[in-house]
Protein backbone atom coordinates (compact mmCIF):
# COMPACT_ATOMS: atom_id res chain seq x y z
CA UNK A 1 0.00 0.00 0.00
CA UNK A 2 2.86 2.37 0.85
CA UNK A 3 4.33 1.66 -2.60
CA UNK A 4 1.00 2.45 -4.25
CA UNK A 5 0.84 5.75 -2.37
CA UNK A 6 4.43 6.59 -3.34
CA UNK A 7 3.60 5.91 -7.00
CA UNK A 8 1.09 8.80 -7.16
CA UNK A 9 2.38 11.70 -9.22
CA UNK A 10 2.71 15.01 -7.36
CA UNK A 11 -0.15 16.43 -9.44
CA UNK A 12 -2.42 13.46 -8.72
CA UNK A 13 -1.54 13.52 -5.00
CA UNK A 14 -2.30 17.25 -4.74
CA UNK A 15 -5.64 16.78 -6.51
CA UNK A 16 -6.62 13.85 -4.28
CA UNK A 17 -5.51 15.71 -1.13
CA UNK A 18 -7.65 18.72 -2.11
CA UNK A 19 -10.69 16.50 -2.83
CA UNK A 20 -10.29 14.74 0.52
CA UNK A 21 -10.06 18.09 2.34
CA UNK A 22 -13.19 19.42 0.57
CA UNK A 23 -15.12 16.26 1.47
CA UNK A 24 -14.00 16.68 5.09
CA UNK A 25 -15.04 20.36 5.26
CA UNK A 26 -18.53 19.46 3.99
CA UNK A 27 -19.19 17.18 6.97
CA UNK A 28 -21.43 18.54 9.75
CA UNK A 29 -19.07 16.95 12.31
CA UNK A 30 -16.24 19.14 10.92
CA UNK A 31 -18.39 22.25 10.72
CA UNK A 32 -19.64 21.88 14.30
CA UNK A 33 -16.29 20.92 15.85
CA UNK A 34 -14.55 23.56 17.93
CA UNK A 35 -11.50 21.40 18.67
CA UNK A 36 -9.93 18.86 16.33
CA UNK A 37 -7.24 16.27 16.93
CA UNK A 38 -5.00 15.67 13.91
CA UNK A 39 -1.47 14.55 13.08
CA UNK A 40 1.12 16.55 11.19
CA UNK A 41 1.52 14.66 7.91
CA UNK A 42 4.88 13.67 6.55
CA UNK A 43 6.26 12.51 3.21
CA UNK A 44 3.62 10.62 1.25
CA UNK A 45 0.74 10.96 3.70
CA UNK A 46 -2.32 13.03 2.88
CA UNK A 47 -1.23 16.61 3.49
CA UNK A 48 -2.83 17.77 6.75
CA UNK A 49 -1.19 21.22 6.84
CA UNK A 50 -3.87 22.89 4.65
CA UNK A 51 -6.54 21.20 6.81
CA UNK A 52 -4.91 22.60 9.95
CA UNK A 53 -4.70 26.07 8.36
CA UNK A 54 -8.40 25.87 7.41
CA UNK A 55 -9.26 24.91 11.00
CA UNK A 56 -7.34 27.94 12.29
CA UNK A 57 -9.11 30.20 9.76
CA UNK A 58 -12.42 28.87 11.07
CA UNK A 59 -11.40 29.61 14.67
CA UNK A 60 -11.01 25.98 15.68
CA UNK A 61 -8.49 24.75 18.22
CA UNK A 62 -6.03 22.32 16.64
CA UNK A 63 -4.46 19.61 18.80
CA UNK A 64 -1.64 17.37 17.66
CA UNK A 65 -0.18 14.30 19.34
CA UNK A 66 2.88 14.25 21.56
CA UNK A 67 4.09 10.66 21.88
CA UNK A 68 5.83 9.07 24.84
CA UNK A 69 7.86 6.27 23.23
CA UNK A 70 8.76 4.79 26.65
CA UNK A 71 5.13 4.30 27.66
CA UNK A 72 3.80 4.01 24.07
CA UNK A 73 1.14 6.60 24.93
CA UNK A 74 0.30 10.02 23.60
CA UNK A 75 -1.34 13.23 24.67
CA UNK A 76 -2.71 15.98 22.48
CA UNK A 77 -1.45 19.54 22.70
CA UNK A 78 -2.95 22.67 21.16
CA UNK A 79 -0.88 24.45 18.52
CA UNK A 80 -1.56 27.90 17.10
CA UNK A 81 1.33 27.90 14.63
CA UNK A 82 3.62 25.45 12.89
CA UNK A 83 6.47 27.22 14.74
CA UNK A 84 5.32 25.35 17.88
CA UNK A 85 6.50 22.05 16.38
CA UNK A 86 9.82 20.25 16.57
CA UNK A 87 11.16 17.30 14.63
CA UNK A 88 11.51 14.16 16.75
CA UNK A 89 12.21 10.49 15.96
CA UNK A 90 11.44 9.18 12.42
CA UNK A 91 11.01 12.78 11.23
CA UNK A 92 7.70 13.14 13.08
CA UNK A 93 6.74 16.69 13.95
CA UNK A 94 5.37 17.07 17.44
CA UNK A 95 4.36 19.99 19.65
CA UNK A 96 7.04 21.65 21.77
CA UNK A 97 5.85 21.05 25.33
CA UNK A 98 7.11 24.39 26.66
CA UNK A 99 5.15 26.29 23.97
CA UNK A 100 1.86 24.35 24.05
CA UNK A 101 -0.76 23.18 26.51
CA UNK A 102 -2.26 19.73 26.84
CA UNK A 103 -5.89 19.25 25.81
CA UNK A 104 -7.94 16.52 27.51
CA UNK A 105 -9.59 13.93 25.26
CA UNK A 106 -13.06 15.04 26.42
CA UNK A 107 -12.34 18.52 24.97
CA UNK A 108 -11.60 17.20 21.46
CA UNK A 109 -14.75 17.19 19.30
CA UNK A 110 -13.42 15.08 16.42
CA UNK A 111 -10.29 12.99 16.00
CA UNK A 112 -8.64 12.50 12.61
CA UNK A 113 -6.90 9.14 12.85
CA UNK A 114 -4.01 8.25 10.51
CA UNK A 115 -3.41 4.91 8.83
CA UNK A 116 -1.96 3.12 5.83
CA UNK A 117 -4.84 0.84 4.92
CA UNK A 118 -8.49 0.74 5.98
CA UNK A 119 -11.37 -1.74 5.88
CA UNK A 120 -14.88 -0.64 5.03
CA UNK A 121 -15.77 -1.46 8.65
CA UNK A 122 -13.31 1.22 9.82
CA UNK A 123 -10.46 -0.96 11.02
CA UNK A 124 -7.05 0.25 10.00
CA UNK A 125 -3.46 -0.72 9.69
CA UNK A 126 -1.46 2.14 11.15
CA UNK A 127 2.24 2.73 11.50
CA UNK A 128 2.83 -0.01 14.05
CA UNK A 129 3.13 1.79 17.37
CA UNK A 130 -0.42 1.15 18.61
CA UNK A 131 -0.59 4.72 20.01
CA UNK A 132 -4.00 5.51 18.52
CA UNK A 133 -5.58 2.20 19.53
CA UNK A 134 -4.53 2.88 23.13
CA UNK A 135 -5.72 6.51 22.99
CA UNK A 136 -9.04 5.71 21.34
CA UNK A 137 -9.97 3.27 24.11
CA UNK A 138 -10.80 6.38 26.17
CA UNK A 139 -12.10 8.63 23.38
CA UNK A 140 -15.86 8.78 22.81
CA UNK A 141 -16.22 11.43 20.14
CA UNK A 142 -16.39 10.97 16.33
CA UNK A 143 -13.32 9.55 14.62
CA UNK A 144 -12.43 10.05 10.97
CA UNK A 145 -9.65 8.70 8.80
CA UNK A 146 -8.50 10.38 5.60
CA UNK A 147 -7.56 8.02 2.77
CA UNK A 148 -7.06 7.75 -0.95
CA UNK A 149 -9.92 5.61 -2.27
CA UNK A 150 -7.53 2.75 -3.12
CA UNK A 151 -6.45 2.56 0.55
CA UNK A 152 -9.92 1.28 1.49
CA UNK A 153 -10.20 -2.48 1.07
CA UNK A 154 -12.80 -5.07 2.02
CA UNK A 155 -10.92 -6.41 5.04
CA UNK A 156 -7.80 -5.79 7.10
CA UNK A 157 -6.68 -8.02 9.97
CA UNK A 158 -7.65 -6.68 13.38
CA UNK A 159 -7.50 -7.75 17.00
CA UNK A 160 -9.94 -7.40 19.88
CA UNK A 161 -8.25 -4.23 21.18
CA UNK A 162 -8.34 -2.46 17.78
CA UNK A 163 -10.85 0.35 17.56
CA UNK A 164 -12.47 1.13 14.19
CA UNK A 165 -13.02 4.71 13.04
CA UNK A 166 -16.54 6.02 12.47
CA UNK A 167 -15.93 7.47 8.99
CA UNK A 168 -13.41 7.35 6.18
CA UNK A 169 -13.13 10.42 3.96
CA UNK A 170 -11.64 9.66 0.56
CA UNK A 171 -11.06 11.65 -2.60
CA UNK A 172 -14.23 10.03 -4.00
CA UNK A 173 -16.67 9.89 -1.09
CA UNK A 174 -17.37 9.80 2.62
CA UNK A 175 -17.92 6.31 4.00
CA UNK A 176 -19.76 5.62 7.22
CA UNK A 177 -18.12 2.60 8.85
CA UNK A 178 -20.24 -0.07 10.41
CA UNK A 179 -19.73 -3.76 10.79
> CB neighbours of 87 closer than 8 A, spacing ≥ 6?
93
> CB neighbours of 5 closer than 8 A, spacing ≥ 6?
44, 45, 116, 148, 151
Stretch 107-133: mean pLDDT, rounded? 92
Confidence tier at 52 by pLDDT (50, 70, 90): very high
- H helical segments located in 33-152: 49-57, 131-136
Give the total residue count for the chain.
179
pLDDT at res. 127: 77
Of the CA atoms within 13 Å of residue 168, those in its CB half-sphere come to 25
C-beta of residue 84 within 8 angstroms of C-beta of residue 100: yes
Q: Considering the entire predicted model, what is its pTM?
A: 0.94
Q: Which residues pair with 110 in a beta bridge?
A: 36
- 20-31 pLDDT, tens per residue? 999 999 999 999
CA distance 152 to 174: 11
C-beta of residue 108 within 8 angstroms of C-beta of residue 132: no
pLDDT at res. 179: 55
Residue 101 burial (C-beta neighbours within 10 Å; 0-12, 13-18, 19+): exposed
pLDDT at res. 162: 86
- Give me the percent of the chain exceeding a pLDDT of 90: 80
pLDDT at res. 117: 95
pLDDT at res. 172: 97
- 138-159 pLDDT, tens per residue? 999 999 999 999 999 999 998 8
> CB neighbours of 70 closer than 8 A, spacing ≥ 6?
none
SS (H, E, C) 84-122: HEEECHHHCEEECHHHCEEECHHHCCEEECCCCEEECCC
- 55-108 pLDDT, tens per residue? 999 999 999 999 998 888 999 999 999 999 999 877 789 999 999 999 999 999
Amino acid sequence: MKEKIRSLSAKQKNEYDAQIAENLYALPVWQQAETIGITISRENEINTKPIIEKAWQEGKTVCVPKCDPQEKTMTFRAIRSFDQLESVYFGLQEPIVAMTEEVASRQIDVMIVPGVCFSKAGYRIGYGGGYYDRYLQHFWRPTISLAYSFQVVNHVPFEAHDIPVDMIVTNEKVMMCDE
